[in-house]
């Protein structure tokens, strides 16, 4: 399908994890508005159904599947069914994530496992499933949604920061391994975003980012010229909270 300036992603297929709400939903809608076929996944089927209904107002190429990205069998099914429905995945946005905050010594082993499994292992499993297809096609974009917590530390952020610092390292290594195949691996690091995400406490919506701000950064990355590589984007609100 020929691309146009108005729809620069008309030949693309994007998979957005955690696309049922918040940042993932905003990213999915933004990519659809640029012409991409879009698949979303998540655990909440009600949220997925609402989001895919919104997607279908913009494109006939929309797909949703309930999936747990921490399970390899769920991931394999998600990738296979997405490509059967929409075609080869050319854009992967690893957005699904959770936050558990509080002193490390007060957290349980289950808290640790859930945070690292979702924020890190999930990225590994979904990327591992998609990358071979991208290599065969000679290119693609992988955008990992990290956080400024992957660059900084704060009291009560031990599990979350650990997962995001590790994601920074995983993403950097993936970028070096895959660039020779024409695959760009980028990281977006937002500060506080006004969403349903269970953060450290109430947020003043005038002093934080919106989900649309993060979606804008992702759109910028996946519409850049073929010779450039935006490896990392830091997003901060203009007004400090």
Residue 53 is assigned to a structural domain of this protein: yes
d(CA 208, CA 191): 8
Domain interval for residue 59? 13-235
pLDDT at 202: 53
Per residue in 136-170, pLDDT tens?
A: 999 999 999 999 999 999 999 999 999 999 999 99
DSSP characters for 122-146? HHHHHHHHHHHHHHHHT-EEEEEE-
Using the 8-state DSSP alphabet, how is residue 209 labeled? B
CATH classification at residue 181: 3.40.50.720
pLDDT at 205: 74
Split into its structural domains, the chain has a count of: 1
Tell me how crowded residue 227 is: count the other CB atoms within 10 A of its CB.
5
pLDDT at 197: 54
pLDDT at 87: 98
- The structure's pTM equals 0.94
Per residue in 29-51, pLDDT tens?
A: 999 999 999 999 999 999 999 99
pLDDT at 198: 47
pLDDT at 6: 82
pLDDT at 154: 96
Residue 3 is assigned to a structural domain of this protein: no
d(CA 74, CA 81): 11
Q: Which two tokens stand for residue 31?
A: 């990519």
Candidate list 101, 160, 165, 194, residue with the active-site label = 160
160 is catalytic: yes
Low-confidence ranges of the chain (pLDDT < 50): 1-2, 198
pLDDT at 1: 40
pLDDT at 35: 98
Q: Helix 158-178 to helix 109-116 angle, to the nearest 10 degrees?
A: 30
Residue 4 is assigned to a structural domain of this protein: no
Residue 32 is assigned to a structural domain of this protein: yes
């Amino acid at each position: 399908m020929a691309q146009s300036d108005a729809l620069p992603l008309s030949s693309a297929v994007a998979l957005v994890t955690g696309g049922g709400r918040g940042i993932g939903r905003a990213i999915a809608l933004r990519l659809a508005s640029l012409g991409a076929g879009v698949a979303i996944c998540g655990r909440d089927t009600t949220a997925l159904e609402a989001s895919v209904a919104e997607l279908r107002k913009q494109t006939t190429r929309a797909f949703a599947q309930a999936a747990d990205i921490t399970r390899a069998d769920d991931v394999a099914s998600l990738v296979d069914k997405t490509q059967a429905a929409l075609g080869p995945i050319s854009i992967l946005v690893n957005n699904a994530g959770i936050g558990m905050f509080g002193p490390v010594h007060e957290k349980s082993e289950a808290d640790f496992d859930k945070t690292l499994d979702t924020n890190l292992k999930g990225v590994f499993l979904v990327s591992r499933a998609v990358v071979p297809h991208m290599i065969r096609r000679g290119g693609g974009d992988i955008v990992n949604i990290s956080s400024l917590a992957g660059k900084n530390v704060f009291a009560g952020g031990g599990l979350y920061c650990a997962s995001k610092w590790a994601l920074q390292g995983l993403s950097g290594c993936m970028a070096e391994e895959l660039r020779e195949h024409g695959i760009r691996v980028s990281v977006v690091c937002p500060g506080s975003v006004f969403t349903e995400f269970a953060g450290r406490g109430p947020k003043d919506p005038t002093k934080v980012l919106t989900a649309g701000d993060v979606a804008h950064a992702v759109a910028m990355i996946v519409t850049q010229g073929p010779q450039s590589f935006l490896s990392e984007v830091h997003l901060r609100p203009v007004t400090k909270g």
